[in-house]
Structure 1
Amino acid sequence: MLSARSLFQEIVDHDDSFQLFCSIAASGETQGGWENARIAALVPDGMRAMAPKITRHGADEDKHGRIFNALLRKRGLPPVPVPPETDYTMLLERRGIGLAHSKLRGDEPLTEQDVVVYLAHSRVTEQRAADQMEMLVNHFGEDPELGRAIRMISHDEDNHLAYCHEELLRLARQGHGRTIHRVLRESALTEIAVYRDVSLAVMDHMGRILNWPRPKAAALAAGIRGMYAYERFSGWHRMVGLRMPERLDALGGPVTTAPEFA
């Protein structure tokens, strides 16, 4: 019987599939770290108070990239190139989710609108990250190889999501509510399609590495498409709501280090 736990266990137990999984995860986290660092550097003067939190967000993402690379090193495995069709962050950018890298590489300050859009995009993608990490913690939180890393990353992702909620609610009170609502909806509908495509691509690569029989691969692909159908019908709503989080000022302190993984 297929389950999230048995599927992930199979990926973790095989060096080649584990190598690809960690390489994809590390690349995405490192990319997120760079993006947040550039946004923090380019925040407009009227929003400079947000810069330390954006910097903290980026530092957390960099830390997660180091953690996934450290998990590879523990097995004596180098990172491998990320297949373009599995590159979630790159595909999101191509679909207009996130600030354009051409803008982030420049020196021109961002606008207030840019920062609002960045936060709305982040609220959607951080929901996905928090949900995924919660699932992994439920299944592998006590795993001797992965548990500590997964719990640390999950805690950070919950902080990132809380930060997005709190900042967007603050900006909505300042008159950005209509823009936030529009960008959240557009981002969620785009993200669920990209997530479907990336999930199909990742499972295709894993299936070839692990020699999955055709019926198993077909069942997994059908499950991914079924999840997309559910999210397209109603599930995307969970990605656009805003509520004051229990964790206030979640990114207000210094970044937590991970010396055992660095």
Structure 2
Amino acid sequence: MLSAKSLFQEILDDDEAFRLFCSIAAGGESQGGWENGRIAVLVPESQRALAPKIARHGADEDKHGRIFGALLRKRGLRPVEVPRETDYTMLLERQGIGLGHERLRLDEPLLEGDIITYLAHSRVTEQRASEQMRLLRKHFADHPDLGRAVKMISNDEDDHLAYCHEELLRLARAGHGRTIQRTLRECALAEIRVYRDVSLAVMAHMGRILGWSRARAAVLAAGIHGVHAYERLVGWRRMVSLEQPERRDALGGPATQMPEFA
């Protein structure tokens, strides 16, 4: 029977599949760390109070990248080059979502509107990350190799999502509500397209590594398309709603240290 747990267990049990999974995850987290680090440096004066929280966000993402690298080293594996069609962060940038790398490489302060763009993009992508890590935590929290990593990353992603809610609500109260809702909707609709495309690409690569039959690959692809259809119709709304989080000031302190995995 196909299930999220059985699929991931199959990836976990195969060195090449696990190598690709961790390489993709580490690459995305490292890119996120760099982006947040640059945004923290370029925050406009009107939003300088956000800079330590953005820096903390970036430090967490860097830590996640190192964790996935450590999981590879623990199994004696080296990272592989990430296939371009599986690069979620790059593909989102190509869709014009978030702040582009070219802009972030300039030593020019961002505008307040750029901070809204950054937070809206983060609110959408952190929703996805939080859901994915909660799923892994549900099934693998007690795993001897993955357990600590999954729990730490899941907790961080929940903190990141809470932070985005809180800061976007603050900016909405300051008069940016319509801009925030428009930007959130644009980000959400683009993200679900990119997530579908990346999911199909990752499953195609995994299928070749694991020797899936055409029938099994077709069933998985149909499932991905089904999720996209649901999200395109109504599921995107969960990515644009804003509510005061239970975790207040979630990024107000120093980043938690990475436990020794390797």
Whether the TM-score (by the shorter chain) exceeds 0.5 is yes
Structure 2 unaligned blocks of 5 or more:
none
Measured in 2, the distance between the counterparts of 1:9 and 1:217 equals 16
Q: How does 1:74-113 map to 2 (within 5 A)?
A: 74-113=74-113
**For the Cα contact (< 8 Å) 1:66–1:261, is it kept in 2?**
no
Structure 1 unaligned blocks of 5 or more:
none
Measured in 2, the distance between the counterparts of 1:145 and 1:213 equals 29
Measured in 2, the distance between the counterparts of 1:24 and 1:66 equals 12
Give the match for residue 175 of structure 1.
175
User: What is the CA-CA distance between 1:97 and the residue it aligns to?
Assistant: 1.1
Measured in 2, the distance between the counterparts of 1:185 and 1:173 equals 19
Is it true that 1:193 corresponds to 2:179 in the alignment?
no
Measured in 1, the distance between the counterparts of 2:71 and 2:119 equals 30
Measured in 1, the distance between the counterparts of 2:228 and 2:190 equals 11
Q: How many pairs were matched up?
A: 262
**For the Cα contact (< 8 Å) 2:74–2:261, is it kept in 1?**
no
Give 4+ residue runs of structure 1 displaced > 6 Å after superposition. Answer: none
Measured in 2, the distance between the counterparts of 1:232 and 1:88 equals 18
Measured in 2, the distance between the counterparts of 1:100 and 1:211 equals 37
Measured in 1, the distance between the counterparts of 2:258 and 2:235 equals 34
Measured in 1, the distance between the counterparts of 2:6 and 2:255 equals 33
Measured in 2, the distance between the counterparts of 1:81 and 1:140 equals 26
State the one-letter code of the partner of 1:54.
Answer: I
Local SS of the residue matching 1:208 = helix
User: What is the CA-CA distance between 1:261 and the residue it aligns to?
Assistant: 3.3
**For the Cα contact (< 8 Å) 1:120–1:183, is it kept in 2?**
yes
Measured in 2, the distance between the counterparts of 1:259 and 1:140 equals 17
Give the match for residue 62 of structure 2.
62
Local SS of the residue matching 2:174 = helix
Q: How does 1:5-84 map to 2 (within 5 A)?
A: 5-84=5-84
Give the match for residue 129 of structure 1.
129
Measured in 2, the distance between the counterparts of 1:134 and 1:140 equals 10
User: What is the CA-CA distance between 1:259 and the residue it aligns to?
Assistant: 3.5
> Could you give the per-residue CA deviations for residues 78-100 of structure 1, whole angstroms, max 9, x where no partner exists?
00000000000000000011101
State the one-letter code of the partner of 1:29.
Answer: E
User: What is the CA-CA distance between 1:149 and the residue it aligns to?
Assistant: 0.2
- The TM-score with structure 2 as length reference comes to 0.99
**For the Cα contact (< 8 Å) 2:28–2:87, is it kept in 1?**
yes
Local SS of the residue matching 2:254 = coil
